[in-house]
Structure 1
Amino acid sequence: MGSPRAVRVFGVLLKSRNPDLVFLSETLVDSKVMKDLAVKFGFANSFEVDRVGRGGGLALMWKKSVACQVMDSSSNHINVHVMDDISISWKLTCFYGFPKRTHRQASWDFLRSLSNNVNIPWCIFGDFNDMLYAEDKKGRHLHPQALLDGFRSAIEDCNLSEIPLTGGNYTWEKSKGKEDWV
């Protein structure tokens, strides 16, 4: 969100989808910038986690119609207690997995720790920086089977299930249209 182009594209996306709640990971800006953007785009509430060095940064923005209470956070997550219109209480975790492969076990263990003592419905989404299946990637370098197995094991240990993707086949692309497209 550090460039005018990113802010414009974000604004167009918000206008076309009109979400009640938005989570951003790798904002690459400090919390004041994100707080200002939340106001600019009509979100009554927001919670930000500052970037660390040149990377990271999380932001959760929600409209007045959504009742959220931030429970806790770190540079890798924001936990929120949500109460909907019909008095159903649930937990939302906005997750950002460690990007370095050498830290994936720490991501999986952290995910498991977040699942402890959850006694209400729980939804977790975000950027896990991981994949469940080899077919989830197209392009150079196969994803190591040990990483696929480790992430899948963490998902199973947390009793989570994948929400099917609608729209495109992938959630991230790099070098589209080039020989090294991933």
Structure 2
Amino acid sequence: MEALLDITILSWNIRGAHNNNARRNLKDLMRKHNPTFIAIYETHVPYLRLSTFWANTDYTPVHIIEANGHSGGIWLLKHSATNILTTITDSNHHSLTFTINRGNASSFCTCIYASPNPTQRPTLWTHLINLNHSIDAPWMIIGDFNETLLPSEQRGGVFNHSRAASFSNFMNSCNLLDLTTTGGKFTWHRNNNGIRILSKKLDRGLANVN
């Protein structure tokens, strides 16, 4: 959960929105946190496949970026009772940017699902750097960056310094701060040729308050 103004955003790489466990966990999170916005990634199915599920919740779609097969997908939904105004300002397969307006207060939020293919991620970093030039209010970027910044964020495998430097350059170019996290140190794992690789902060939040 990330706080922006006095709202909350539930941001989650759901890795398949249609399976029973995902829907059950999503309902539990909605009931526990009652977030203002929900952003979910790597959805695997068209939004309409879950239209009945969402119809039985308090959330309505703001903008839907459909997955390409099992690749990508960003769904942004808003609590139906909120009076917060939102406007989509930028959208592509890997990122979705919207404004959050309440009274005279305005902020930007970008939800991202960076490509698992590392050769495609620099294109997203460049896009966000260019987008930064048009943003004149507090800006938060949340989602699945599919990248680690420091060797301490990874256990097992080979840390890629070049990719980390590209990611760091993007953050510095946009004057972004890495938001603090709580909970388990590592949030993602996979086995590679029998070696277990653990990583943290593939899902993270960055903020620019200038």
TM-score (norm 2): 0.76
Answering whether residue 100 of structure 2 is matched by residue 100 of structure 1, we say no
Query: 1:50: how far off?
Result: 0.9
Give me the whole-angstrom Cα distance separating, in 1, the residues matched to 2:60 and 2:128.
29
Give me the whole-angstrom Cα distance separating, in 2, the residues matched to 1:111 and 1:97.
11
Q: Which runs of 5+ in 2 are unaligned?
A: 1-16, 199-210
Q: Give 1:50's aligned amino acid.
A: E
Give me the whole-angstrom Cα distance separating, in 1, the residues matched to 2:95 and 2:57.
23
Give the aligned length: 178
Give me the whole-angstrom Cα distance separating, in 1, the residues matched to 2:130 and 2:101.
23
- Once superposed, which parts of structure 1, at least 4 consecutive aligned residues long, lie more than 4 Å away? none
Q: Which fold has the larger relative contact order, with Cα–Cα distance below 8 Å and residues 6 or more apart in sequence? A: 2
Query: 1:41: how far off?
Result: 2.5
Q: Does the CA-based 8 Å contact 2:171-2:177 persist in structure 1?
A: yes
Give me the whole-angstrom Cα distance separating, in 1, the residues matched to 2:23 and 2:49.
11
Change (3 A) 1:41 1:179: farther
Q: Could you tell me the percent identity over the aligned residues?
A: 23
Query: 1:46: how far off?
Result: 3.1
Change (3 A) 1:113 1:107: same
Query: 1:141: how far off?
Result: 0.6
Structure having the larger proportion of residues in strand: 2
Higher mean C-alpha displacement, 5-14 vs 21-30: 5-14
Q: Give 2:166's aligned amino acid.
A: G
Query: 1:132: how far off?
Result: 1.4
Q: Which runs of 5+ in 1 are unaligned?
A: none
Q: Does the CA-based 8 Å contact 1:38-1:44 persist in structure 2?
A: yes
Answering whether residue 56 of structure 2 is matched by residue 40 of structure 1, we say yes
* Partner deviation per Cα, 1:116-155 (whole Å, 9 max, x = no partner): 22111111111111111111122x2122111111101111
Partner residue of 1:80? 98
Query: 1:74: how far off?
Result: 1.2
Structure having the larger proportion of residues in helix: 1
TM-score (norm 1): 0.87
Answering whether residue 172 of structure 2 is matched by residue 159 of structure 1, we say no
Give me the whole-angstrom Cα distance separating, in 2, the residues matched to 1:108 and 1:73.
14
Q: Give 2:72's aligned amino acid.
A: G
Answering whether residue 144 of structure 2 is matched by residue 127 of structure 1, we say yes
Report the RMSD for the aligned CA atoms in angstroms. Answer: 2.0
